[in-house]
Structure 1
Amino acid sequence: MTAHKEEMLATKKQKSGSSKWNKFLTMLQELGKALQFPVAVLPFAAILNRFGGLGISFAEEGSVGYWISYIIQKPGSVAFDQLPLLFAIGISFGLAKDHRGEVTMVAAIMYLIIILMTGEHGIPEMLYGNVLTFEAHEQVWNADLGAMETVINHYSSLMYVGTENSEGIYVGATYVLNVGVLGGVVSGVLAAVLYNKFKEIKLPAALSFFGGRRFVPMIGIVVAMGLVFAFAITWPWIQLVLMMMGQAVADPTNPAVAIPGTGLYAFLNRLLLPFGLHQILNTFFWFQMPINGDVIDPITGAISETDKWINGDINAFAGGLNTSGLFQSGYFPIMMGGVPAIALAMIFAAKKDRRTEVAGFLGGVALVSFISGITEPVEFSFVFLSPVLLLVHAGMAAIFMMITTAMQIQVGFGFSAGFIDYVVSFAQSWGLSTHKGGAMQVVSNPLMMLPLIAAAGGIYFFVFSLLIRKMNIQTPGREEDGGFTTEPVEITSNSGSAAVVSTSKGTVSKADKYDVMAEKFVAAIGIDNLESIDNCATRLRLVLTNNKTIDTAAIKAAGAFGFKQLGDQALQIVIGPDVEHVANSMKRIKNV
């Protein structure tokens, strides 16, 4: 082989590897976006569940107050009880190319098959019923003797957890094998893959009725049967390891593991933020990891149920487990104190003649972070400007997460760690702290979160102000070229009409501001360069023919807080909570 041919082969191989990596990054972006569909249900569901549950605790059973609280609480609890199914439905819909509803039916069928056949007395017991067994001395009624008798049954530790009596003898067992949210995610992803591949399949004339989209449920059922055996073979072993990890990390009384474990999680979470992959990490800890503990009454702090397993930290907190909340509490100082302080530091670090302008948008998103816990608009203002600031942010997030773990403060959320969720979770958190008693009741009280929020705000403001000035980081308002559009910009829309807007001087716009922003983005990207347009909670998630040809300066000038290119095709543009309006406008421009 000649040197030229070897070089061509190496180049081809490199391009192939690069293409696969780009495709993988694009797929991860799509999955991260789709995860937002089921998660969007949780904020309101958490409010209903928490306040309704609190009312039930206060009211006398059967009273008017009890039934009102019941009506409020039950719709909220449904979202948490059926969360894996919501993930299957939401992810399949988000990943389907045409976002049609048929795919959600396929995902639901696949998930229901999986949980039915991996449930108690299902395929896992057929495979592992005699593996890692333990004895349980159970009392059963003998009709012939007319009395209770002790029967020794054997259960596999891969699927069951034993119930001990005061003498340490197992007197029963509970089936705990649960594919949980992972089963919903896998069902949703595969349903979408099958739908996208077979939705236009053509069958022979005699079978044409079952062609196209009608073919997808059939192939989905076949694939689900294969998934059942895949889960039945592998998941019992994986869950056993996860349960041991959950018992070690999600346990405030085991600080040697819990403190560094939660700190590492927070550090990785913030590092993955720029790539939009933190949602995948969150899905495991918030919705999948098995957590064991006692259920605590939020009013009295007394134990109402012992030795209960719940999948995911958010679900465990909603269920009142005394070991819950460790993967959520540390975010409250960051999102209510730290991130707003970053915005304040950038405002004061801006040039004097730009400070009012910068305060206009950074002040608003700082308030959004404090109230709702949505931090990305602030974070994307600096994460791509300086790796140092990103590392410092991740490091301080880890520190405050470890502090809340060490203090055993347990505050959960339904969506994010903002003021709304703090108020909603306060009663449950108070009950968990009351249960501890003694000095820890004071240290772990949810009111202790307030000085932590203030401390995080002060430390963040000082550190970021110092670093921005000392390192001359070009945060908003410090750019040498001005950074933002300050004069009216004329844009010609598809209809030919002009729209005049201004980002700083209040010029009256002849078009909806979202339409204007969308037109700027499309012009900066190229209408023929756009392959797909979607969004999550705060970002446009775009797939382009080539993301290297875009006008990055124009994207920033159009009002983006930041953007991230993944591979050669994926592009994320951070807009804020109103991103959906921009996405809809871009779709109208693209006619999709």
Structure 2
Amino acid sequence: MKKFFSFDLFQRVGKSFMVIISLLPAAGLLLGIGTTLQSPYLIEYMPFLEDGAWQTFASLMKGAGSAIFKNLGILFAIGIAGSWTGGKAGASIAAFVGYVVMHTVIGIVLGITPETASQPGYTTELGIPTLQVGVFGGILMGFVAAALYNKYHDFKMPEMLSFFGGTRFVPIVTAGVSIIMALILAFVWPYVQDFIFAIGNSLAGENTPPFYMFIYGLVERALIPFGLHHIFYIPIRFSEVGGSYTTLAGSIVSGDTAMYMAQLADKQINSAIDITAGRFMAGKFPFILFGLPAVALAMYHTAKPENKKAVSGLLLTAAGTAVLTGITEPLEFTFLFVAPLLYVFHCLMAGLSFMLMYMLDVNIGYAGGAGIIDFSLFGILPGVGEPWWLVIVVGLAMAAVYYFVFRFAISKWNLLTPGRGDETSNRLYSKQDYQDKNKQKQALSVLAALGGEENIKNIDACITRLRVGVKDKTQVNHDELKQLGAKGVLEVGNGVQAIFGPTAEILKNQILEIIDNKTA
């Protein structure tokens, strides 16, 4: 039981979710561009956009982006199965087979037809009339297919049936298990669905207490150091927990993100549509676009004079990454490990930001991250009447608070933020330093600092973190990892996380290649 609820397990789950989450920026960009080009607000100032060719292009972009958001269930199934098994195609194929069989059986058992699929609680998945299981069905099938692959990928059949053994057996057994799952879901899920809708109404209804939004923002930020924030926000942003919306075309979409994209598209057709989604996203814009850059400025101003030139590149890059793309971890981890109390303050400010945006009735969504690109595409350019300027007003106020609190705390308690310590604790690398570094040598050194290959149980990476399951945490040299470029090292469960920034994925692949070559 203890192993089942370990941090390592939850981190692997979060990593599996990221396989699909990483698709959303591209899908959102396509959808945002298409929606913006059809915006009456933009067409008023750029009449040439009314031309048929431009509108066809816009429709193509919207259609391509919508295709991702409309098929999140099957994408989660395929992505999770592949990720959980280390990229095995057989597991992903099994997940697809199981997903299709499961929904087909559900539809048959409950007598759902294409004509009745538009009724509340029903929907169509890949054209199959079925229950509205949403991304939960995809997530469940993804993990089931992965578990069956790990158990049966080397299964031996009798000699006459040997062709169906091994990985070929996995889709077969998955199809059988999916029938049992479908029979269970057909009778159990309607009750689960009622419970989920009740939660959704309390979170996404008209009378949601503002304090709920404060808690949401605080918890979402607080879970980032542990890599568990994906598990927290995915049900709200991509399932009925975050609410449901019936589009003008009659289809039902669920989750704050999908609802916002659908409402934004419908608003271009019917201006009377009221945008109610986005409350679980709008709160990110003020502290990402304004608060965190103010943190970087405070760190720069409190750095030692002789270190300011070196520090400026590091902080400017981290702040620019947050503003442009909404990826905040490089900057957040910069102060997390030297001043944890400031990260607590940051979490409180994040909660306040979500609560203020909700109280001010600002509904702005994003697809990838709450950076300037998403803010422009989904907040400013669509011209749907949302008070996007309030993000700037609140953001500037938060920037002032962030700056003075961080500057006071750093100076008062002599916190070792970048540029304030000695060379050992505050070593900074420029882009040229990184490019000149022998990458293979660094990977070897990192592997040695982790206790060597014999100490490695598993190794993975997300956007900024090298996640390593180890046999003995005492064999991990934290100081050496920091010397090798890690902004910090965190012990979580039975493993460690080394924060290397965007190079984490490259390091992971190099270390795995070293281990594979030694065992070959």
Structure 2 CA distance for partners of 1:117 and 1:427, relative to 1, 3 Å: farther
Match of 2:444 among 519, 529, 536: 519
1:266 to 207, 217, 222: 217
CA contact (8 A) 2:203 2:242 kept: no
In structure 1, distance between residues paired with 2:420 and 2:51: 63
2:94–2:145 contact (8 Å) kept in structure 1: yes
Q: Alpha-carbon deviations, 1:96-149, whole Å to 9, x = none?
A: 04x221111111122222333334xx54579xxxxxxxxxxxxx9xxxxxxxxx
How big is each residue's C-alpha offset from its partner over 1:23-58, in whole Å with a ceiling of 9 and x where there is no partner?
732121111111111111111111111222343465
Q: Deviations over 1:336-393 (max 9, x none)?
A: 1122222222233333333333332122111101110101111112324444222211
Q: Secondary structure at the match of 2:155?
A: coil
Task: Determine helix, strand or coil for the equivalent of 1:515.
Answer: helix
Q: Provide the rounded CA distance (Å) in 1 between the counterparts of 2:39 and 2:289.
A: 29
CA shift digits 1:527-550 (9 cap, x unpaired) = 322233322222222222223310
Q: d(CA) in 2 for partners of 1:54 and 1:456?
A: 29
In 2, Cα distance between equivalents of 1:50 and 1:346: 35
Q: Which residue of 2 is the match for residue 278 of structure 1?
A: 229
User: Could you tell me which residue of structure 1 aligns to residue 509 of structure 2?
Assistant: 584
Query: Distance in 1 between the 2:458 and 2:54 partners?
Result: 50
1:472 to 411, 414, 428: 414
Question: Does 1:239 pair with 2:228?
Answer: no
Q: Which runs of 5+ in 2 are unaligned?
A: 44-48, 124-128, 265-274
Q: How far is the alpha carbon of 1:95 from its aligned partner?
A: 0.7
Distance 1:259 1:201 in 2: 54
Q: Residues 167-206 of structure 1 correspond to what in structure 2 (within 5 A)?
A: 177-206=131-160
Matched, 1:367 2:320: yes
- Cα deviation, 1:440-466, whole Å, max 9, x if unaligned, reads xxxx51122122222222211111222
Cα deviation for residue 211 of structure 1 reads: 1.5
Q: How does 1:545-560 map to 2 (within 5 A)?
A: 545-560=471-486
Specify whether residues 506 and 199 from structure 1 end up closer, same or farther in structure 2 by C-alpha distance, changes over 3 A only: closer
Q: 1:71 to 1:507 in 2, by over 3 A?
A: closer
1:291 aligns with 2:246: no
How do residues 332-347 of structure 1 correspond to structure 2 at under 5 angstroms? 332-347=285-300
Instruction: Report the equivalent of 1:493.
Output: none
Fraction of identical pairs, as percent: 30
| CA-CA distance at 1:225 after TM superposition | 1.8
Which residue of 1 is the match for residue 376 of structure 2? 423
SS at match of 2:157: coil
User: 2:228 is matched by which residue type in structure 1?
Assistant: L
Tell me the equivalent position of 1:90.
Answer: 79
CA distance in 2, matches of 1:320, 1:588: 46
Query: 1 CA distance for matches of 2:437 and 2:501?
Result: 20
| Map of 2:8 onto structure 1 | 26
Say if 1:529 and 1:546, in contact at 8 Å, map to a contact too: yes
Alignment match of 1:36 (pick from 18, 26, 34): 18
1:323 and 1:523 mapped to 2: Cα distance? 52
- Which deviates more from structure 2 when the two are superposed, residues 421-430 or residues 59-68? 59-68
Q: Do the aligned partners of residues 267 and 118 (structure 1) sit closer, same or farther apart at CA in structure 2, a change above 3 Å counting?
A: farther
Q: Give the structure 2 partner of residue 528 of structure 1.
A: 454
- 1:543 is paired with a residue whose SS is strand
Structure-2 separation of matches of 1:267 and 1:209 = 54
Cα shift at 1:409: 0.8
Q: What residue number does 1:118 align with?
A: 106
User: RMSD over aligned Cα, in angstroms?
Assistant: 3.0
Within the candidate set 361, 386, 401, 1:459 is matched to 401
1:349 and 2:339 matched: no
How many residue pairs match? The answer is: 490
Classify 1:507/1:26 alpha carbon distance in 2 versus 1 (closer, same or farther; 3 Å).
closer
C-alpha offsets along residues 305-356 of structure 1, whole Å, 9 cap, x if unaligned?
79x7421111111101622000000001121112222222223333333333
Bigger drift between 222-231 and 102-111 goes to: 222-231
TM-score w.r.t. length of structure 2? 0.86
Q: In structure 1, what is the Cα distance between the partners aligned to 2:441 and 2:338?
A: 26
In structure 2, the partner of 1:11 is: none
Cα separation, 2, equivalents of 1:242 and 1:113: 24
Q: Shift of the alpha carbon at 1:481?
A: 6.8
Going by fraction, where is helix more abundant, 1 or 2?
Answer: 2
Question: Aligned equivalents of 2:97 and 2:431: distance in 1?
Answer: 55
Give the AA of the match of 2:90.
E
Contact 2:104 2:130 in 1 (8 A): no
Provide the rounded CA distance (Å) in 2 between the counterparts of 1:211 and 1:114.
23
In structure 1, the residue matched to 2:272 is none
Q: Deviations over 1:54-83 (max 9, x none)?
A: 434659999333322222221111111111
In terms of mean alpha carbon deviation, does 344-353 or 187-196 score higher? Answer: 344-353
Match of 2:346 among 370, 393, 402: 393
Structure 1: how far apart are the matches of 2:149 and 2:376?
Answer: 42
Cα shift at 1:177: 4.5
| Contact 1:177–1:239, Cα closer than 8 Å, also in 2 | no
Judged with a 3 Å threshold, the aligned counterparts in structure 2 of structure 1 residues 56 and 553 are, in CA distance, closer, same or farther, namely same
1:216 matched to 2:167? The reply is no
**Structure 2 counterpart of 1:37, which letter?**
V
Aligned-pair CA distance for 1:156: 9.8
Which residue matches 2:357? 404
From the two aligned structures, give the one with the greater strand fraction.
Answer: 1
In the alignment, is the contact (CA less than 8 A) between 1:271 and 1:394 conserved in 2?
A: yes
Larger radius of gyration: 1
| Amino acid paired to 1:473 | L
Alpha-carbon deviation of 1:258? 4.3
Change (3 A) 1:392 1:481: same
Q: CA deviation at 1:505?
A: 11
Tell which deviates more after alignment, 241-250 or 368-377.
Answer: 241-250
Aligned to 2:183: 229
**Separation in 1 of the partners of 2:418 and 2:50?**
57
Q: Distance in 1 between matches of 2:226 and 2:337?
A: 11
User: For residue 62 of structure 2, what is the amino acid of its counterpart?
Assistant: Q
- More RCO (CA 8 Å, sep 6+): 2
Secondary structure, in 3 states, of the residue corresponding to 1:371? helix
Q: Is the 8 A contact 2:122 2:132 kept in 1?
A: no
Name the SS of the counterpart of 1:380 in structure 2: helix
User: Could you say which residue in structure 2 is the equivalent of 1:78?
Assistant: 67
Q: 1:46 aligns with which of 28, 39, 55?
A: 28
Instruction: Give, in whole Å, the separation in 2 of the partners of 1:511 and 1:559.
Output: 11
1:556 Cα shift? 1.3
Give the 3-state SS of the residue equivalent to 1:381 in structure 2.
helix
Partner of 2:126: none
Q: Which residue of 2 aligns with 1:450?
A: 392
In the alignment, the residues of structure 1 paired with residue 193 and residue 409 of structure 2 have an alpha-carbon distance, to the nearest angstrom, of 44
SS of corresponding position for 1:201: coil
In structure 2, what is the Cα distance between the partners aligned to 1:415 and 1:188?
A: 23
Superposed displacement of residue 563, structure 1: 2.8
Q: Judging changes above 3 Å, is the alpha-carbon distance between structure 1 residues 471 and 238 closer, same or farther for their aligned structure 2 residues?
A: farther
